[in-house]
Structure 1
Amino acid sequence: MPDLKLVSSEANSPRVAEFFAGIGLVRMGLERAGFDVLWSNDIEPDKRDLYAKQFGPSDATANRSHTFDLGDVGEVTAANMPEDLALAWASFPCTDLSVAGARAGLHGTESGTFWEFTRVLRELAAEDRLPAVVGLENVVGLATSHGGEDLAAIVRELNVLGYSVDVLTLDAKRFVPQSRPRLFIVGSMETPELAVGDDSALRPDWLNAVYADPTLRMHRAALPTPPLPLASGFSDLAERLPADDARWWDEARTLAFEQSLSPVQRERIEALRAAPTTVRRTAYRRTRKGVPVWEVRADDIAGCLRTARGGSSKQAVVEVGGGSLQVRWMTGVEYARLQGADDYDIAGVRDSKVLFGFGDAVCVPAVAWLGEHYLMPQVRAASRAGNEWPRLAEVG
């Protein structure tokens, strides 16, 4: 795992407002890249509580360097925004965009809050305070939602605001042992140096459609090749719980787990149990032909973390080898580690609250990589250009 240290925010650090902030993992990543996050918003009190535990208390009335605005994004206005913003970030809800959901898309109640984010941007544009760069993050299902129309609508909206747009995908497993592909959208007022040659590591073929649309103002920024995807690492990352820890499932529950496995899965587990070395694998509960079953990953990478609001979304850990097999739920400590937030303060917090906060968050080192190699260079370029952006009325 990369050894990333927090960069102390200085007076001249580019200023950021983060929408849909959750527990603040985007803030951690951006601070590692040298940004100063001054304002954050989220609607979930439990997430705000974790945020405050990590970063210190903050509210919308106190005279502090950071404000956490707890409430509906629909109530946020440009008046809430700090002055001289360089970057606005929005990890807007994926609920209506994920292939696992009903896919209402940007018309959905939750994912449709994207339009509240751009409403605030429009208000800032009317006051000549539009940030030089915007960053969006969501599931890769956004690229195919409504046949690609939702992604095109997002690009079109940012174009109206004056931004040229880039779309790329980055998987958390390039930094931590968790399979978590995500889509990142970057809007820039200054057109960056364009990519030359193969950029398929960040922009695979399935993103070509949005770039091929002649009605959209797009660019492909020249970026370094990100780290290669990890092929292992979860066994080393997993917590070491003693054999008598109460979190291990009892004999009856473990037997039921084994009996739910398919023949192929059972053969895999038996081979691992017979090996002299103990390894750890993750498992999800699935429904196959109407029957709940457990499926164990074949590799040493965790599956994508989810918000643990239902049993099927929780991930189990299987510790197997040397003739033994033990199973338990993944812990909050492991969730934090898999999001690259080893130093997050979760002491004394219930695991259910930790899993809820980390399950739909953004991988810290992925944000830090994007911040260092893309967002910060764009902000610096805009600063050198004098921040003379087109007004909304001129581009809309």
Structure 2
Amino acid sequence: FWPFWKLIKALGDEDRAPRLVVLENVCGALSSHDGKDFAAISSALSNNGYRFGAVVINAVHFLPQSRPRLFIIGVRKSSPIPRALIASGPEGEWHPSALVEAYGKLSKRAQSSWEWWRLPAPPARTSIFADLVEDEPHGVTWHTAAETKKLLGMMNPLNLAKVEAAKKAGGRQVGTIYKRTRADGPNGEKVQRAEIRFDDVAGCLRTPTGGSSRQTIMVIEGKRVRSRLLSPREAARLMGLPDTYALPKNYNDAYHLAGDGVAVPVVRFLAEHILEPLLAAALAVEKKAA
């Protein structure tokens, strides 16, 4: 943040400060270092001429991926803010308790520059994860029967029960798996577990820093069970990228692009309901002044 903010301050010194500053981060940014990181960012905005606020938006409202993210939106104090964009206080969907708690730890000066941004209810999602899965994936291959058996062997009884239920459900069932280290070995030791979900939603995409950070899918059709890594194109679809979007040829590069990105429809929603109205109001004032 600080190298970025140094650039913003330099623009301000040249009377070229941007009308809007929008930051995106994981929701852990609200509580890291007991909220001091979020407070420092908030003070930087407030002390440098910005009114600001934050919202938490989960991509699951728009795409079949669980991906809550924090968006901090700052607007120059010289720019007008349409009244319709401001809520009287926190609104549950967009201002969860962690955000309200982080706001409570801000300095009085930062709180005086704070706005509770108002957003409409999210649209109804029209897709499920299975809709995005490729029948003939590119960039990955299906696991061997032995590899799938090993994956099943990493599941605890609860997750194995989910697989059995999917077999009995009939049709084509698609689940997503992440490998996690759990302290549930026979003697309480830490072991790597494969945890599966069949709720038509993928887990949050990550950057491929290790084997467990790559998401695996399991396709069950009756008694037939197959598994493989999530393909680069499937990862891109989970971020709202069209199939015409050119992906890096290297698997890790393509997966990193998705895991480190922002979900397209989330940003479009934010732009439509907050960013574009703010810019339009600012430009209208500047045009009138000219």
Question: Into which bin does the TM-score normalised by the smaller protein fall?
Answer: 0.7 to 0.9
Match of 1:120 in 2: 7
Q: Which residue type is aligned with residue 10 of structure 2? A: E
Tell me if the contact between 1:232 and 1:299 (Cα under 8 Å) persists in the aligned partners. Answer: no
Select which of 247, 255, 258 maps to 2:141: 247
The structure with the greater share of residues assigned to helix is 2
Q: Indicate yes or no: 2:228 matched with 1:334.
A: no
- List structure 1 runs of 4+ shifted beyond 4 angstroms: none
Q: Does 1:354 align with 2:254?
A: yes
| Structure 2, unpaired ranges of 5+ | 184-189
RMSD in angstroms over aligned alpha carbons?
2.2
Alignment partner, residue 259 of structure 1 = 153
User: Per the alignment, in what secondary structure is the counterpart of residue 299 of structure 1?
Assistant: coil
Q: Give TM-score, length-normalised by structure 2.
A: 0.88
1:178-213 per-residue CA deviation (whole Å, 9 max, x = no partner) reads 000000000012352221477211111221134344
Q: Are residues 1:320 and 2:220 paired?
A: yes
**Aligned length, in residue pairs:** 272
Shift of residue 128, structure 1, vs aligned partner: 0.6
Please point out which of 218, 236, 242 is paired with 2:114.
218
* Distance in 2 of aligned mates of 1:232 and 1:345: 19
Distance 2:205 2:244 in 1: 17
Helix, strand or coil at the partner of 1:215: helix
Contact map agreement 1:164 1:191 (CA 8 A) in 2: no
Match of 2:28 among 125, 141, 155: 141
User: Secondary structure of the residue that 1:170 maps to in structure 2?
Assistant: strand
- Which residue in 2 is equivalent to 1:234? 129
- State the alpha-carbon separation in 1 of the partners of residues 45 and 15 from structure 2: 16
Unmatched segments (≥5 aa) in structure 1: 1-113, 388-396
In the alignment, structure 1 residue 384 sits paired with structure 2 residue 284 = yes
Specify the code of the residue in structure 1 equivalent to 2:72. Answer: I
Q: 1:297 & 1:310 partners in 2: Cα distance?
A: 21
Identical columns (%): 37
1:119-157 per-residue CA deviation (whole Å, 9 max, x = no partner) reads: 111111111101111100000000101111111110100
Contact 1:195 1:220 in 2 (8 A): yes
* Counterpart Cα distance in 2 of 1:376 and 1:348: 31
Residues 358 and 118 of structure 1: CA distance in aligned 2, closer, same or farther (over 3 Å): same
1:280-295 map, 5 Å: 280-289=174-183, 290-295=190-195
Matches of 1:171 and 1:215 in 2, distance apart? Answer: 29
